[in-house]
Amino acid sequence: MTDWHKIIGGVTAPRGYRAAGITAGLKPSGLPDLALIVSDVEAIAAGVFTTSQVKAACVDYCRQQLRTKHSARAILCNAGQANAATGTQGWVDALESTMAVAQALNIPSESMLLASTGVIGQRIPMDKLKAGIPKLVAALSETGSDAAAGAIITTDLVTKSIALETALGDRPVRIGGIAKGSGMIHPNMATMLAFVTCDAAISPTLWQQMLSRAADKSFNSITVDGDTSTNDSLIALANGQSRTPAITEMGAEAEKLEAMLTAVCQHLAKAIARDGEGATCLIEVQVTGAHDELSARQIAKTIAGSSLVKSAIFGRDPNWGRIAAAAGRAGVPFEQESLQIKLGDFLMLDHGQPLTFDRAAASAYLKQAAMGAYLEEDTVLISVSVGNGHGSGKAWGCDLSYDYVKINAEYTT
């Protein structure tokens, strides 16, 4: 039983936020490609970004801003060009983007944060971006979350959005989020973007700590293809417009807010894994019995990221040996005699001993998951126990299909 419930509205569900998404001509397809999220007041800001040594200008810019200023009013995101590996001109373009939007919003440029997604090595067409800004600002709306969610996607097949509400004291508090991601997804912030809004009042240090922990249990626990992007960004704003007392230290209310933040991030992360390029199903790996939570998550991520496991799931082949092999190479010590593996309700290995199971029924289970794609009924559950420890963890991924190669082979052409 959770302490929150789902509501509509995405990033504009929390009080004091507006959003917009438009077509500025940045994508050759003519689809929406420029999004803006704005808080009515200065909001506490936190971020988690790619671990790649090759980073987009927007990532460097946001990291620099958040080191010196832990607040923001707006997030601008363009889709179509990653503005990564674009040299000094890419940095200049990033700064010009912030100044142009800040001027249109009549806010300091230091209150702007940035994100980009698209083809690496391509600069943003600044003339088109600047020409689109007046239209973008004019389109800002308290119901604009869906438009923004549609303007940040690239190879995604569906938009990704969520909003939850709980009560702190006697007042409602909301957290909303939108995300994009389909390929180039791997733990340690993997091309994935997520924007989260909240109307609670919270200290900057605590908000950053909460976001980092939520990221570890969500976006850092998904994998599609083992590639970490140059642009991965998770940015969260908290503007205090719920008028609840400020949270300045951990306690019951802080834990409640963090649990809801984690739930928002996990929903978006699973939506990204479910929408993996060419994927037909979501894979959830649950690991128990490890020494600690970190070890359990490491095993789960290794299994979810195994190309052989992913290929077997796509082929509807209940090949538990590949799961065992992936668990064994995760870099986490455990006794082979303690290993247990289940696929759905099918127990395949127990105490290190292979068991007889209905292979045809297990294959049918995998086929059934593929038939539920995008209905949130498409999850293949892999349960692994490695001992009697208290550590447990989860990771999410997707199967690896023929279409993944086709999509990425033709990406820039």
Parallel/antiparallel/unpaired status of strands 379-385 and 282-289 = parallel
**Cα–Cα distance between 65 and 68 in angstroms, integer?**
6
Secondary structure class of 410 (helix, strand, coil)? coil
Residue 377's pLDDT is: 58
Catalytic: 143?
no
Residue 368's pLDDT is: 86
Residue 169's pLDDT is: 85
Residue 148's pLDDT is: 98
**Cα–Cα distance between 339 and 96 in angstroms, integer?**
55
Q: Which domains does the chain have, with CATH numbers?
A: 5-274 (3.60.70.12), 282-409 (3.10.20.340)
pLDDT tens over the chain, length 413 residues: 678 999 999 999 999 999 999 999 999 899 999 999 999 999 999 999 987 888 899 999 999 999 999 999 999 999 999 999 899 999 999 999 999 999 999 999 999 999 999 888 999 999 999 999 999 999 999 999 999 999 999 878 889 999 999 999 889 999 999 999 865 545 554 458 999 999 999 999 999 999 999 999 998 888 765 555 678 899 999 999 999 999 999 999 999 999 999 999 999 998 888 877 678 889 999 999 999 999 999 999 999 999 999 999 999 999 999 999 999 999 999 999 999 999 999 999 999 999 999 999 999 999 987 765 444 557 999 999 999 999 999 999 888 887 777 776 775 54
Residue 373's pLDDT is: 46
Which amino acid, 158?
Answer: V
How would you label 32-70 residue by residue, b for 16+ Cβ within 10 Å and e otherwise?
bbbbbbbbeebbbbbbbbbebeebbbbbbbbeebbeeeb
First vs last C-alpha separation in the chain: 48
- Residue that has been written with the tokens 């999509």 in this structure: 407
Nearest to 175 by CA among 1, 397, 3: 3
Residue 232's pLDDT is: 85
DSSP code at position 309:
H
Residue 19's pLDDT is: 98
Q: Where are the beta strands (DSSP E) in 4-70?
A: 5-6, 17-22, 34-49
Among residues 12, 191, 244, 288, the one annotated as catalytic is 191
